[in-house]
Amino acid sequence: MSTHLVWLRNDLRINDNSALAAACSDKDAHVIALFIATPVQWQQHHMSPKQAVFIHQNLCHLQTALGERGIELVYHQCDDFSASVDYLCHVCEQHKVDQLFYNYQYEFNERQRDAAAEKRLDAQGVTCQGFDDSLLLPPGSVQTGSGEMFKVFTPFSKAFVKRLEQGMPECVHAPKARSGAPLKPAKAIPAFDYAAEDVDAALFPAGEEAALKKLRHFAKTAVVDYPAQRDLPALDSTSRLSAYLAIGVLSPRQCLHRVLTEHPDALKGGKAFTWINELIWREFYRHLLVAYPALCKHQPFVDWTRHVPWQTNTAHLTAWQQGKTGYPIVDAAMRQMHAQGWMHNRLRMITASFLVKDLLIDWREGERYFMQQLIDGDLAANNGGWQWAASTGTDAAPYFRIFNPTTQGERFDSEGAFIRQWLPELKNVPDSDIHQPHAWAKKNHKMLDYPAPIVDHKDARKKTLDAFEHARSVA
């Protein structure tokens, strides 16, 4: 009898899991699943404690779902990727595995790990099969007419949609119960040897069934209002599915097919396309990681921006991290992230712009800090977003485009509902003054337990423009 091993990583689901489905396609094979936690490596990659807890929660659900289908989940913890390859090879030898199935990861370190694993397992006589599972279309499959990766999103998106219309990526079914199913209840997976923070179960319920329920609800109702409401953080108008996509509890194919089931015109300009286009942004950044591996190494995409004279100001960085900059929309957003491990996308742009364009602090400081906080931390999307905001990336905002944090707040939280949710010290400030509370306090002889702005936006903008223009001149 053949023994097939499924090496699980960021694909913690039984539905539409390419590697799992392929491993189970031979109904007579003995199938085992393996998950290896690598806390030291996670720390090096700045994984947030909330994401680590969320992975553990979903892994426990997955263990049960696999057991019901007669598939044992082997769990192991070791320090890093090198040790994980050692243990993988040990499991293959111990269980006389003849075929390994896994879904690709596209980050540089992960690709090196997988190449090392395949080389060693090939020497052991194990056949390895990898799958492009976390994307709608494989990296390199959407290119310009000259055969290069797109560097601008809009033409990439148009070409991407054309590819989808030519052939839609299909979902695969969850494996059927195998001989011996269900297995006896397995020993509980121990908590990871990693910092832990509570995850709000109301916002991010664990488990594949909960994720699919959230997807169905969003696709049926909120997705049509998404174009009009997506930039308003006081409204619960986004899907919050990014946390599930980041660790693979959902696949992007499931998301696409569910939206198209409810809204068949979405790819032809229907209202639901705005959200599908966000899935395509996710694809864009992942395809870029493969085309330009230096992005995994904290390098700017636009070479001349290496010369920007970023400022080292610990007090300003700390104020930004703690939500004490004196700019209400920035501070409310940062406090939301601390509490929930998640931040509204418009606010990610505003807070990132403030760090790099108002404080002139290196975007890599912000990139790292977001990864340390976010439950949906994803290298490709996080790097892409930060380089966009910093004007250092592909298809980035021009360096002279600098968000005014006050007018951004006035535009997207006009009455201050979101600000008051996270800055209770401003609860008595009138709607009309919520974005400049100190001006109101001074005029009305009030005292506020809220910091004054740490920089003047007008002065900061000029300083930043000068810094970028200097960088261009010396490049």
The two tokens of residue 24 are: 């189970």
Give catalytic status of residue 345 as yes or no.
Answer: yes
User: How does strand 30-37 pair with strand 127-131?
Assistant: unpaired
* Euclidean distance between CA atoms 13 and 148, whole angstroms: 33
**Residue pLDDT, tens place only, 57-106:** 999 999 999 999 999 999 999 999 999 999 999 999 999 999 999 999 99
Give catalytic status of residue 68 as yes or no.
Answer: no
Helix (H), strand (E) at residue 188: none
- pLDDT score, position 214: 98
State phi, psi for 370 to the nearest 5 degrees. Answer: -60, -45
Crossing angle for the helix pair 328-340 and 345-353, to the nearest 10 degrees: 120
Q: How many Cα atoms sit within 13 Å of 354 on the Cβ side?
A: 32
Give catalytic status of residue 386 as yes or no.
Answer: yes
Give, rounded to a whole angstrom, the gap between the first and last alpha carbons of the chain.
63
Report yes or no on whether pTM surpasses 0.95: yes
Which residues have C-beta within 8 Å of that of residue 98, sequence separation ≥ 6? Answer: 2, 3, 4, 125, 126, 127
- pLDDT score, position 395: 84
Which of 10, 109, 313, 345 is catalytic? The answer is 345
Which of 109, 310, 313, 410 is catalytic? The answer is 310
Which of 275, 342, 363, 422 is catalytic? The answer is 363
Give catalytic status of residue 304 as yes or no.
Answer: no
Which of 275, 320, 342, 386 is catalytic? The answer is 386
* Euclidean distance between CA atoms 466 and 460, whole angstroms: 10
In the chain, what's the furthest Cα-to-Cα distance? Answer: 82
* Euclidean distance between CA atoms 252 and 161, whole angstroms: 14
* Euclidean distance between CA atoms 344 and 347, whole angstroms: 5
Crossing angle for the helix pair 405-412 and 328-340, to the nearest 10 degrees: 70
* Residues linked to residue 271 through DSSP beta bridges, in sequence order: none
* Euclidean distance between CA atoms 211 and 240, whole angstroms: 10
Distances, alpha carbon 372 to alpha carbons 79, 367, 426, in Å: 18, 9, 28
Task: Answer yes or no: are the C-beta atoms of 379 and 289 closer than 8 Å.
Answer: yes
Give catalytic status of residue 320 as yes or no.
Answer: no
- pLDDT score, position 396: 81
pLDDT along the chain (475 residues), means of 10: 96 98 97 98 98 98 98 98 98 98 98 98 98 97 96 97 96 96 95 97 98 97 95 96 98 98 94 97 97 95 96 98 98 98 97 98 98 98 97 90 97 97 97 97 95 98 97 91
* Residues linked to residue 129 through DSSP beta bridges, in sequence order: 101
Give catalytic status of residue 10 as yes or no.
Answer: no
Crossing angle for the helix pair 328-340 and 363-373, to the nearest 10 degrees: 40
The two tokens of residue 10 are: 């960021």
Which of 278, 283, 365, 367 is catalytic? The answer is 278
- Give the count of beta carbons closer than 10 Å to the beta carbon of residue 83: 16
Which of 7, 275, 281, 422 is catalytic? The answer is 281
State phi, psi for 105 to the nearest 5 degrees. Answer: -115, 150
